[in-house]
A and B are shown apart, each in its own frame.
Chain A
């Protein structure tokens, strides 16, 4: 061992407390209790991928920063990425070396988690152990003697109840005592664990841990204990066969469930059913809620017209702002449902099983079972999904996953699909829409897999050096999702969605309104012998035909004609570069949805039905062009934030550039094939 660094903690600075522990051991849960924050906790090993720092809540009366970190299995890194994590633990580039480490230890699998504690102590860190998941251990009929464990480890041990926050006060007391001791100017010498002779020292460490486990773990029911001893006496062979504490079996319900959910045949069937139900539900459960939102915005828009009159600013508020923003928010219920179902899946513990089930097929095309969770969260949003790929240790597999995640149908595409589906299928048959929605999702998954396998075949240069492929994943105990927690999480996700997309939609709606309203804001037309309705319609169409947006859109026509679209859709497509959902609001604007009593969405649908290609009688939105648009949205990379995060996570512009060109190219070609193929078949 060599001395890595010397830190003198005499200088007074705010102490740094790092939360360290195995994946899924309850770090983030504890972090939230201490900091009052609300970071995502998921029953999947590897839910946290970024460091987050916060002050400890002032009510706890400790002046210290607390750092949440991604889970680690061992202090001896197995990959370059893990090496970075271990280095950050010793000395984080931004936050420095921790004055104190709180290690979360899942008490229901004590020996596995004590390994890290031992390594941290051996490296010379100042450590407090937080025992989590006591409830699971109790359910197994065991308990832990904290006092004994603390003596044997030589550091404080505190139990934390992850559900109620019980034990936090004790933990704070320990922290306080510990930090006061530390501040007295002791030098910490941190050591790096040796990399050689890993196996021997590892086995030695485990032997030590096992002897600790035997001392501190006891059966809660002394009767049981006697029974076990008696049983052992009767069956001596059992004792010989089970030298270690094998009564500590995995959670019984989990074992029983896994016999079914991981069954060769049933496992796969259930997996397919779960996934299809998810997407079908999203569509038809949402419609009553959507009607509600729709009505709300229609009323608001009418009120605006009534209050401001038929003036340019009245028009700005009613058509520009209210129906622009409203046309997108109508689809919020679907997005909420998507988040809700994903949240339930995350909390149940099923995700890890999903990852295991798809590992084999995914590994055939150069991905990994661990690509599953990033791909699934790509249905909500590509940004966190791309960050979640950090749990994939193999670089090549990780890069390939990043490559295809933007093809997952993110929630921003949901409003677009929902609108086009509503256009294609009559409202009396919501189940047809549900099926269509499921089909789009399946199509997007299938295409992404095809693209992955092609890229995997032909590009060895995506990531350079690869290393060997591996899949080692803990399958955490199933638990009943805590419904109120999931609902709270869903609502906060939905709020974030609105906060992120809302302003963009608002600004773009105003800009687009401007571009479609000016310069010819009050065109002169011949009003003789015409009804008032007719007149205002003529004014509208004349105004927009001579607007800035139209002038700009004419440039796009040559590109759009082959896929059956005109400049109005083109302007909307350009607007989607800011955010895909803007497509819907800008369609609403360019097709001049003026409220004539009808509610907003159906009037947009009506306007789409009536729209004709400039100067002809040919309908603009047909089955062929709508299907073509859907296909376009499945592939096209119309999201600046995605491009930015891919750049950040891969460290170069290469991948986002390839993605932009390739996906947008495929989108155009596929849309062309769809539109013209359907036309050839006589479907129009």
Chain B
């Protein structure tokens, strides 16, 4: 299963699910990364960590390992 951590800059995807086991999962859902939403990977810091995604009209930066709990389909 692909995750948001694997996106390349400029790539878009639709969120399929958020992995509940990750300790940040709930916060990630709360800031708007919910299934069905379209995200775009805007840009990342060095080593693509953290990564900045466009979501629900704004940009939110999260760590790469937090992005890896967001499951996507392209």
Which residues of chain A have a CB within 8 Å of any CB of chain B?
A: 73-74, 76, 78, 106, 108-112, 115, 140, 198-199, 202-203, 206, 241-244, 246, 248-250, 254-255, 258-259, 262-264, 267-268, 352, 356-357, 359-361, 369, 468, 470-477
From residue A200, how far is it (CB to closest CB) to chain B in Å? 10
List 30 A–B pairs whose Cβ atoms lie within 8 Å, in order of A's numbering: A73-B31, A76-B26, A78-B27, A106-B58, A112-B32, A140-B57, A199-B20, A199-B25, A202-B29, A244-B38, A254-B59, A259-B9, A264-B44, A264-B48, A268-B45, A356-B61, A357-B46, A359-B50, A359-B61, A360-B46, A360-B49, A361-B46, A468-B23, A470-B23, A471-B50, A471-B61, A471-B63, A472-B66, A474-B58, A475-B58
B24 and A263 within 8 A (CB): no
**Given A264-B44, A357-B46, A359-B63, 9 other A-B residues pairs in contact with their CB atoms under 8 A:** A106-B58, A241-B14, A248-B57, A255-B59, A262-B43, A267-B43, A359-B49, A472-B66, A474-B31
Which chain B residues lie closer than 8 Å to A206 at the CB level?
Answer: 32, 34
B34 and A203 within 8 A (CB): yes
| Residue among B18, B46, B59 facing the most chain A CB atoms (10 A cut-off) | B59
A472 and B27 within 8 A (CB): yes
B7 CB–A CB distance under 8 Å: no
A475 and B45 within 8 A (CB): no
Question: Given A202-B29, A248-B56, A472–B35 Cβ distance below 8 Å?
Answer: no
Question: Given A263-B43, A468-B24, A472-B24, A249–B35 Cβ distance below 8 Å?
Answer: no
Can you list the 6 inter-chain pairs with the closest CB atoms, starting with the nearest?
A262-B43, A109-B57, A475-B59, A248-B57, A109-B58, A468-B23
From residue A650, how far is it (CB to closest CB) to chain B in Å? 24
Which chain B residues lie closer than 8 Å to A477 at the CB level?
Answer: 58
Q: How far is the CA of A199 from the CA of B29 in the complex (A)?
A: 8
Within 8 A of A (CB), among B21-74: 23-32, 34-38, 42-50, 52, 54-63, 66
B26 and A78 within 8 A (CB): yes
Contact of B54 among A106, A111, A250 (CB under 8 A): A250
Which chain B residues lie closer than 8 Å to A357 at the CB level?
Answer: 45-46
A246 and B30 within 8 A (CB): no
Which chain B residues lie closer than 8 Å to A352 at the CB level?
Answer: 61
Q: How far is the CA of A206 from the CA of B23 in the complex (A)?
A: 20
Contact of A476 among B34, B49, B58 (CB under 8 A): B58
B58 and A262 within 8 A (CB): no
Question: Given A203-B34, A267-B45, A108–B26 Cβ distance below 8 Å?
Answer: no
Q: How far is the CA of A198 from the CA of B66 in the complex (A)?
A: 18
Which chain B residues lie closer than 8 Å to A110 at the CB level?
Answer: 57
Q: How far is the CA of A78 from the CA of B47 in the complex (A)?
A: 27
Q: How far is the CA of A471 from the CA of B9 in the complex (A)?
A: 19
Which chain B residues lie closer than 8 Å to A109 at the CB level?
Answer: 32, 56-58
Please, which residue of chain B has its CB at the minimum distance from the CB of A140?
B57
B57 and A111 within 8 A (CB): yes
From residue A126, how far is it (CB to closest CB) to chain B in Å? 23
Which chain B residues lie closer than 8 Å to A369 at the CB level?
Answer: 50, 61
Please, which residue of chain B has its CB at the minimum distance from the CB of A357?
B45
Contact of A202 among B26, B37, B61 (CB under 8 A): B26
Which chain B residues lie closer than 8 Å to A262 at the CB level?
Answer: 42-45, 52
Q: How far is the CA of A470 from the CA of B61 in the complex (A)?
A: 11
Which chain B residues lie closer than 8 Å to A267 at the CB level?
Answer: 43, 45
B49 and A198 within 8 A (CB): no
| Residue among A140, A369, A473 facing the most chain B CB atoms (10 A cut-off) | A473
From residue B73, how far is it (CB to closest CB) to chain A in Å? 10
Please, which residue of chain A has its CB at the minimum distance from the CB of B37?
A244
Q: How far is the CA of A244 from the CA of B14 in the complex (A)?
A: 10
Q: How far is the CA of A35 from the CA of B30 in the complex (A)?
A: 31
Which chain B residues lie closer than 8 Å to A248 at the CB level?
Answer: 56-57
Please, which residue of chain A has its CB at the minimum distance from the CB of B32?
A112
Q: How far is the CA of A140 from the CA of B42 in the complex (A)?
A: 18
Q: How far is the CA of A243 from the CA of B32 in the complex (A)?
A: 15
B38 and A203 within 8 A (CB): no
Please, which residue of chain A has its CB at the minimum distance from the CB of B74?
A241
| Residue among B25, B47, B58 facing the most chain A CB atoms (10 A cut-off) | B58
Which chain A residues lie closer than 8 Å to B46 at the CB level?
Answer: 264, 268, 357, 360-361
A258 and B43 within 8 A (CB): yes
From residue B41, how far is it (CB to closest CB) to chain A in Å? 11
From residue A254, how far is it (CB to closest CB) to chain B in Å? 7
A360 and B52 within 8 A (CB): no
From residue A167, how far is it (CB to closest CB) to chain B in Å? 21
From residue B43, how far is it (CB to closest CB) to chain A in Å? 4
Q: How far is the CA of A47 from the CA of B54 in the complex (A)?
A: 22
B58 and A112 within 8 A (CB): yes
Which chain A residues lie closer than 8 Å to B26 at the CB level?
Answer: 76, 78, 198-199, 202
Which chain B residues lie closer than 8 Å to A199 at the CB level?
Answer: 18, 20, 25-26, 29
From residue A238, how far is it (CB to closest CB) to chain B in Å? 11
B43 and A111 within 8 A (CB): no
From residue A412, how far is it (CB to closest CB) to chain B in Å? 32
Q: How far is the CA of A342 from the CA of B18 in the complex (A)?
A: 38
Please, which residue of chain A has its CB at the minimum distance from the CB of B42?
A258
Q: How far is the CA of A202 from the CA of B28 in the complex (A)?
A: 11
Question: Given A112-B56, A262-B42, A203–B29 Cβ distance below 8 Å?
Answer: yes
Question: Given A115-B30, A262-B52, A474–B59 Cβ distance below 8 Å?
Answer: yes
Please, which residue of chain A has its CB at the minimum distance from the CB of B73?
A241
Please, which residue of chain A has its CB at the minimum distance from the CB of B18?
A199
Q: How far is the CA of A352 from the CA of B31 in the complex (A)?
A: 16
Please, which residue of chain A has its CB at the minimum distance from the CB of B47?
A360
From residue B59, how far is it (CB to closest CB) to chain A in Å? 4
Q: How far is the CA of A44 from the CA of B27 in the complex (A)?
A: 19
A475 and B60 within 8 A (CB): yes
Q: How far is the CA of A360 from the CA of B49 in the complex (A)?
A: 6
A356 and B52 within 8 A (CB): yes
Q: How far is the CA of A474 from the CA of B30 in the complex (A)?
A: 12
Q: How far is the CA of A202 from the CA of B26 in the complex (A)?
A: 9
Which chain A residues lie closer than 8 Å to B50 at the CB level?
Answer: 356, 359-360, 369, 471, 473
Which chain A residues lie closer than 8 Å to B52 at the CB level?
Answer: 258, 262, 356, 475
From residue A337, how far is it (CB to closest CB) to chain B in Å? 29
Please, which residue of chain B has its CB at the minimum distance from the CB of A107?
B57
